[in-house]
Every structure is written in C-alpha cells, then in structure tokens.
Amino acid sequence: MATLHRTPCPACHHAVAVSFHDGGKQPLATLAWPASAEAARAMKRLPHSFVRCTGCGHVFNREFDYTEIPYGDEPNRMFNRGPIWGAHLSVVRDRLLERLPTAPRVVEIGCGAGELLHALAEAAPRGSYVGFDPGAPHESNGPGVSFRRELFDPAVHLAELAPDVIVARHVLEHLHDPLALLQELHATAEMLGRPLLLFVEVPCIDRCFETGRTADFFYEHYSHFTTASFRTMLERASAHVHFVEHGYGDEVVFGVSELGGSLPQRGILVEARRFEERASTGRRVVRAQLDRLHEEGARVALWGGTGKAAMFINAFGADAERFPLVVDSDPAKVGTFVPGTGQRIEFRDVLHERLVDVIVITTQWRVREIVAEMAREGISAPLVLLEHDGRLVAHDSSAHPYLDSIGAPIARSASGDANVPSEPRRESGLHSHAVNPCERGSAREVIGGGVTLDSSARRGSGIGAPDSHAATSTTDVSSLARALEETTWSSTTPASTEVLARPCSTEEA
Ligand SMILES: [Zn+2]
C-alpha cells in the first residue's frame, strides 16, 4: 500500500509525497569510479527510497544525503561523444542562439569539459562564454571561452559577468534544492534590474512510466524530472516560461525561461528593502528616545511585559536597570519576569501608588484597550507614549492609528479626588466595568513640542494620591516631551537606489 511522507519536493517545494519505488540499498553508480574490484565491492550501500510529489509529480529520493557524493574528488564525467548525443547538442546550441544577440554573453553552470560553450563560440565567435565547474579544464582551447574552476555564486557572478543567458544542463538533478537555486537566480536578476534568459536541461523520466524501467533511479540523481515537474519548477522560478521541449528520443527535457522582470517579485523586494531600512532607523530612534527618558530622570512604567511587549522591551533596549517598572493588565502574568531583560511584571494597580511621569505602552495592538483601562481604573500619567512609525509618540496628541473606536485620542485621564476610594484596588480581579466616578472633562493644554496633556493628569495620577505627582516629580514633562520629539538618529550611509540589496549566498550551485 502506498505510504504518504511529509517531505518537501525539490522541484516545487510541495510538502507531501507518496511512496513510489524502493530500490533498496545500492552503491553510487556514476561518481565513485572504483579502481579495483575489491574497492568496487567494498563500496558503501546507500538507501534508494524514491517518492513522488503529490503536487507536481516529481520523483526524488527522500533519504538522499548530498554529502555522500564525492563531488570534490571526481568530476561529474558525462559521456558526450555519441553521434546522436552530438546531434542533440547541436539542437540545443541552435535553440539557444535563436534567442540570443549576435555577440552573446553566456554563462554555463556545471559546464564539464565545455562542449556546449565551444560549440556556441564556433557558431557565434563574437560572444563571450564562461563556464563554471570545479572540474572544468584548466585552460580553454578555443577563443571566446573561459573557465572558472569554482562554484557559481549568483550574488557575485551575475553582477560581475552580466550574462544574457545562464545555462545549466544536467546539473539540477544533482542538487539538494534546485528550485532554490533557480529562484535565487530569478530574485538576483530582479535586484540587479537585469533580466536574463535561463536555459536548463535534465534527464526526463516520462518514458519510465511507459516502460516500467527502474534503472534510471540511482543515487546521484536526487531529482527525477517528469515534463510536468520540470515545467512546474521553471514556472516557480521565472517570470515567464518561453518553451519546454524534449530531446534525444524524449530522454531529456529542456526549457528556456525569463529570469527577473517580474513585477510582483520586484514589488516585494522593494517593499522589503524599505521596511528593513525603516525598521533599522526606527530601532535607533526609539533606543535614543529611551536613552533620553532615562537621562532626563523620568519615572517610567512600561505597560506590557510579554509577547509583543517583550519584543519591544528587548529590541529597544529597555533594560531592567534603567526601566525597572513593568506592569501588565493580566493578573496571570504578575510575578513572572520579562523574557530577556528580567523585570518583574507587576499588576497595573501599582500605578496608583508608584507615580510615574511616563507610561510607555509597549504593545500597539492593545493600545485602545489599555487606554480605556487607564480611564476606567483612574490611572494616568503626564505622558503616555507608544511606538509608531519608528519613534515614540505621545498617544494623546500625535498622529497615529491607534485611537479608540470613536477616533478620539487617549487619555481622558481619570484623575482622582475626594470621592474616590482612598485605597488602591487590590483585588486584582478583572473588574472591567468599574468606572471612576470622578472622571473629569479633559481640559487640555498644549505643552512643548505639541504634546497635549490633560491638566488633571499633569496634576497627579491620582487615586489615593491627589496632587502628589506635582510635588514629587523631578521631571519637567513638557521639556521632556520636546526632547523626545527632537531625538533623531541619522544614518551616515546613504541608501542605495539602484541595487535593492545584496543577494543571499548560495549553499550549493
Ligand atoms: Zn513537486
């Protein structure tokens, strides 16, 4: 009975495959080149557990281990001398030249001895032909052809050589992740703003289904392409597939596609780069603002200590030494500690007694809840800050998207006075309907830097301690707000507008 396996397909990255052919444990078939009968018989046996992708029909060995193959010791010697194979090479040469300029720049990955490059150079002698292969000849024996005895690195070599086409023939079936290599080529071409053609060719197993033959399935070929899985791979790694064709009596499949020039991919790359730059700048600004809060001697409470709040605290460097007070709305979190920084998390009711100049709300997604909770519980502070668009802004007066449901800014800060219970609420229950009976109208005044504070809030945080804030505060809140607004961080490295980013490095090529 067929068995399902959760294992990613190298051609399309679909995650489920079905058992297909168990070839048992066999030695390497094409790359070991044993020098004696004894060595041949002593060869290690490797599992041939072929499965078939339920997404694209690709066949691959789910127990494949790339490190079992001694590519470093022996070049991959492909037999290129048969006359019919020679005729196939001529077809490939002509199909390539049809789509290339008269003086093409061709790069071949895994060029072997360079037969195709020499054939191309002969037919189009004004072109340049560069072959990458650790086993390539030391020297070219024809004009226009050169070899690099190294692995191809898309990030480095696409920019350096600016090819019109990348050729990879009988390479992808050996790789652990051929789709990843092609997608990296595609994305690199996009980043460089230089679309190019891709020509790939692999053995085709379509005929195995007609004939039932199994000798094709050997270890060095991790991947066994059907026409459908080959086309699927190309479609997932290209802007457009020009054609897919068969050659050599349908034993091979080859195709040409367009790398780069994909508008959706470009949009994603541009958006990612912008976000990265914005996040990087924002991190520096918020860190600088927190430094400023500390330098100014502000008494600060961080509201929220786990999840996204913990991300805020760690990413922006709100350490326990400078920012020891962390409160949370959730009694279940009280007594636990902020991951990474170690502040003990207190229940928010401590803010009735521990008066602060600044409350920093560390989770944007809960801002409206927290602000409503502050009003309900009679908790306030002269400055309530949250992070928006890469800086700490005053909730009450700055432009940000975390206003309450009626679009009003915060802190209708409830302040306490004589009618309010003199003891802070201690029951720590979720008395969410408790309403401060003495909530005041918000008589706001504008303080430095456009920060608006409720006069009652500025006067004190109130419940149980009316007016005590002004008496004990050592911080000039209005100048503090102004200082925060003026805090900036400017990059000394100008952002590049041409190249989106440095492409990633390749694990294998
Ligand atoms: Zn697949």
Question: How confident is the model over 248-296, as pLDDT tens digits?
Answer: 988 999 999 999 999 999 999 999 999 999 999 999 999 999 999 999 9
Distance 221 CA to ligand 1 centre (A): 16
Distance 269 CA to ligand 1 centre (A): 25
Torsion-angle region of 366 (φ positive above 0: left; ψ -120 to 50: alpha; else: beta): alpha
% of the chain beyond a pLDDT of 70? 80
Distance 225 CA to ligand 1 centre (A): 10
pLDDT at 414: 40
Place of tokens 């090479």: 89
Does the structural domain 268-486 have CATH classification 3.40.50.720?
yes
> Does the pLDDT at position 52 exceed 70?
yes
Distance 473 CA to ligand 1 centre (A): 66
> Does the pLDDT at position 235 exceed 90?
yes
Distance 377 CA to ligand 1 centre (A): 57
Distance 209 CA to ligand 1 centre (A): 17
Instruction: Quote the pTM value.
Output: 0.78
Distance 336 CA to ligand 1 centre (A): 46
What are the domain boundaries of the chain? 4-68, 83-267, 268-486
Mean pLDDT in residue range 455-467: 33
Distance 139 CA to ligand 1 centre (A): 39
> Does the pLDDT at position 460 exceed 80?
no
pLDDT at 78: 61
pLDDT at 232: 98
Question: How confident is the model over 136-158, as pLDDT tens digits?
Answer: 999 877 889 999 999 999 999 99
Distance 132 CA to ligand 1 centre (A): 28
Distance 74 CA to ligand 1 centre (A): 30
User: Which residue(s) pair with 129 in the sheet?
Assistant: 106, 145
> Does the pLDDT at position 495 exceed 90?
no
Question: How confident is the model over 236-251, as pLDDT tens digits?
Answer: 999 999 999 999 988 9
DSSP label at residue 424: P
Q: Are 173 and 221 in contact (CB under 8 A)?
A: yes
Question: How confident is the model over 335-363, as pLDDT tens digits?
Answer: 999 999 999 999 999 999 999 999 999 99
Distance 429 CA to ligand 1 centre (A): 54
Distance 29 CA to ligand 1 centre (A): 25
Distance 88 CA to ligand 1 centre (A): 27
Distance 5 CA to ligand 1 centre (A): 13
Q: CB 163: neighbour CB atoms within 10 A?
A: 21
Please give the C-alpha separations between residue 291 and each of 294, 319, 326, 402, 472, in angstroms, as whole numbers.
5, 11, 17, 24, 22
Burial 440-476 (b: 16+ CB within 10 A, else e): bebebeebebebbbbebbbbbbbbbbbeebeeebebb
Distance 100 CA to ligand 1 centre (A): 31
pLDDT at 453: 32
Question: Rounded to an integer, what distance in angstroms lies between the CA atom of residue 157 and that of residue 506?
Answer: 12
Distance 11 CA to ligand 1 centre (A): 5
Q: Which CATH class is domain 83-267?
A: alpha beta
Distance 51 CA to ligand 1 centre (A): 11
**Equal fold, 83-267 vs 268-486:** yes
Distance 216 CA to ligand 1 centre (A): 19
Distance 6 CA to ligand 1 centre (A): 12
Distance 494 CA to ligand 1 centre (A): 42
Distance 398 CA to ligand 1 centre (A): 51
Distance 145 CA to ligand 1 centre (A): 36
Question: Rounded to an integer, what distance in angstroms lies between the CA atom of residue 258 and that of residue 241?
Answer: 6
Distance 57 CA to ligand 1 centre (A): 6
Distance 55 CA to ligand 1 centre (A): 5
pLDDT at 73: 62
Distance 215 CA to ligand 1 centre (A): 22
Question: Rounded to an integer, what distance in angstroms lies between the CA atom of residue 72 and that of residue 134?
Answer: 8
> Does the pLDDT at position 367 exceed 90?
yes
> Does the pLDDT at position 472 exceed 80?
no
Distance 10 CA to ligand 1 centre (A): 7
